Each structure stands twice: as structure tokens, then as C-alpha cells.
Amino acid sequence: LEEQLLHSQKMEAVGTLAGGIAHDFNNLLTAMMGFAQLADQQASTLVHDDAPLALRNGLRDVRTELIEIMKAGERAAMLTSQLLAFSRRQRVTPTEVDVNVAVHDIERMLQRLIGERLTLTTRTVGQPLPVMVDAGQLAQVLVNLVVNARDAMPNGGMVQVSTDLLDLAAVGDGAYAGVPAGAWVVLTVQDSGTGMTPEVQARIFEPFYTTKAIGDGTGLGMSTVYGIVQQAGGRLLVDSTLGVGTAVRVLLPRLAARSLPVGAPPAVERPTSE
């Protein structure tokens, strides 16, 4: 528990700092992207057929370069949005979300994210899986985990996103070791990637810990996932074998009732032990 407290204090301090920087940086980035787009529009209007060939070729190069600027800007914007989410400057509104629906809603976006080189499969269970969570944050959890899975498979492979309902009568064992009794919705992202050494695995929730090249990772993905899952009363289980792959399981308390009377506070079925 003490370790957890220290971890969350560290995360908060880093988050405040990072959030402030990300916020200001984002404003500058918006200006940069806006001007790059304007310049591209202007360049495109100058390229007409009666313009001299040298000018047309020059402008074509300029447009290619501007597109590179905008692409880099988009990546930078993704990193800052990760920073902002980490520092929780974004408003959090938990609502009743069916995890199966959430997975299907985001499936195509995840597919685009991992590209054509990798295969994404999704498998959802038949029954509804209601949980109380901010829908945007749940999407972010999925995106972060799928991006990590993608980055762990430079030579191709498979990512599986799956859902399950776990009804624990007592404290779990095996893959669910230490999980308190209760009804849990399980969201698993499994990859056939590099896996992690125990040393790496021990540090993945540390803010800014990354093994990726500069510009490829912030080291905030897993910290963010951890924070979101913690806030939603859930658990995060990482099961990784070097050379075989990694499975990250997100456990969220299943909402007891599907339809709540208007005005009544949502009944969250929380595990009772600890």
C-alpha cells in the first residue's frame, strides 16, 4: 500500500508539471499546424498550368515538405494529448458503459492504428458488460495498450482484444492472483510480440519510463492506463513472457444493475475484501 501511495504521489507531481507544459505546448502546436496548412493552401493555388515549370516543381517540393511538417505536428499532438490525459486535465465523466460496445466502437480505429502489417482480432462475450467509467478514458486505455502491442511486434504478429466476465467467489489465483472476490469485467489486450524482461516489467508503470526511441514513446502510456484503471476501482494485470508475448488484463467492477431508476445513484458492485 505504501508503495502504491508513493507511486501515486510521484505520478501527481509529474502530472502537474507535464500537464502545464503540454497545455502551453499544445497552443503553440495548434498555431504551427494552422500556419503550415495555410502555407500549403497558398502554395496549391499558385500551382497552375501556365506557371513556369521550375516554379511548379519548386512549389511541389514545398508542399511535400509542408506535409511532412503537418505529419510531425500530428504526432506531436498525439504525444501532448497523452501528456494531458496523464495529468488528468481533461474532464472525467464516468457513465455506464458496456465494454463490448466500447470495443466494437473503437475497433476500426484500432485497426488503422496497427496498420496492415499486423492482424487485429476482437472477441467479445455474449452478455452485456456494464461498467462505470469515462468512455473517453476507456478508449484511451485501449489505444495505449494496442499501441504498445504494435510497437512490440516489429516483425509482424497478432493482437487480440477480448472481453470476459469473471465471477470470483474468493480471491483469485493463477492469472488472477490476488484479485478480490466479485464480479469483474475483463478487457484483455494480448500480443505475440517481444515480451518483457522481469526488469522492464517491474518499471512499466513508472512515469516516463520507456525503452523506445525518442519521439516514439513518452513512457506515459502504462502510467496513464494505471491511473485510469485505479480511478475506476479496477485492477491491472500484466502477464509477459520474453520472446512469446504479453497479455495486459484490465479488470473493472461490473455494474450490478443494467437500468437504473432516474435520479438514483449508480450502484457499483465493488469487491468487498482488502
Q: Locate cell 502551453: which residue?
A: 24
Strand order in the sheet with 182-191: 119-123, 158-168, 182-191, 245-253, 235-241
Using DSSP's 3-state secondary structure scheme, residue 236 falls into: strand
Give the residue closest to ligand ADP by C-beta: 221
194 is a contact residue toward ligand ADP (CB under 6 A): yes
Residues 134-173 that bind ligand ADP (CB under 6 A): 144, 148-149, 152
Backbone angles phi, psi at 233, to 5 degrees: 75, 20
Of 66 and 204, CB closest to ligand ADP: 204
Residues 229-258 that bind ligand ADP (CB under 6 A): 246
CA geometry: angle at 130 spanning 124 and 135, to 5°? Answer: 90
Of 111 and 201, CB closest to ligand ADP: 201
- Scanning 56-64, 109-117, 165-173, 216-224 for contacts with ligand ADP by CB under 6 A, the matching segment is 216-224
Measured from the CB of residue 48, what is the shortest distance to ligand ADP in angstroms? 45
Using DSSP's 3-state secondary structure scheme, residue 74 falls into: helix
- Of positions 73, 94, 128, 219, contacts ligand ADP by CB under 6 A: 219
Of 58 and 219, CB closest to ligand ADP: 219
| Enclosing H/E stretch for 111 | helix 99-114
Of 141, 159, 137, nearest in space to 150 by CA: 159
Measured from the CB of residue 248, what is the shortest distance to ligand ADP in angstroms? 7
- Of positions 8, 119, 122, 210, contacts ligand ADP by CB under 6 A: 210
| Enclosing H/E stretch for 41 | helix 2-46
**In the complex, which residues of this chain contact ligand ADP (CB under 6 A)?**
144, 148-149, 152, 191, 193-194, 196, 200, 204, 209-212, 217-223, 246
